[in-house]
Amino acid sequence: MATKQSSNGHLIGYKRVSTKAQDARLQADALTEEGCSKVFEDKLSGKNTERPGLADALEYMRPGDTLCVWKLDRLGRSTKDVLTLAEKLHSRGIALRILTGTLAGNYSPTGEGKFFFTMMAAFAELERDLIVERTKAGLEAAKAQGRTGGRPTVITEDLLTVAKARQAKGESVTAIAKTLGVSRATLYRALSK
């Protein structure tokens, strides 16, 4: 697909996922479909103040270019961070395009547009906070019902009994762990409880 240009510059993409385990394919596909000539990426939480991919994108961009993101929350996790970045872009003559979400479209930090952007950024931050609160409430409710999240325990009561018996006979934790097919660290944690 041919790359699109903004009025007199290039469309530059930025994508971010919170962890290395997450996949930015959805964002990448949307940015490619939009026609971004170059795409920069970060694989870290939006809470991190240093985002090397975003810094590289900002250094690369020139007046007339447009920074394109899949969704507003990819730029940052707080209203203040997003607004600061948007103001910096505007002062350099760089536009902002958001592809999806409540504020899909082009950002202009003047008049009603600035007010609308501020409100949507605040709502995005509020939405994230609500998701965190709901997740915590769900985990607490599950815990109250006896369910816990995370990986299931590897050391069952039977394995722990065997491990303790072998340890009492003088066998090393390393040898016991190898025999039982668990890591030493896992076995040490189980034996210390």
Which residues are catalytically annotated?
18
Q: Which of 20, 87, 23 is nearest to 58 (CA)?
A: 87
30, 71 Cβ separation under 8 angstroms:
no
Distance CA 12, CA 54 (A): 11
Distance CA 9, CA 171 (A): 70
Distance CA 76, CA 79 (A): 8
Distance CA 59, CA 38 (A): 13
Structure token pair of residue 77: 């996790």
Amino acid (1-letter code) at residue 123? F
Query: Phi and psi for 5 in degrees, rounded to 5?
Result: -120, 150
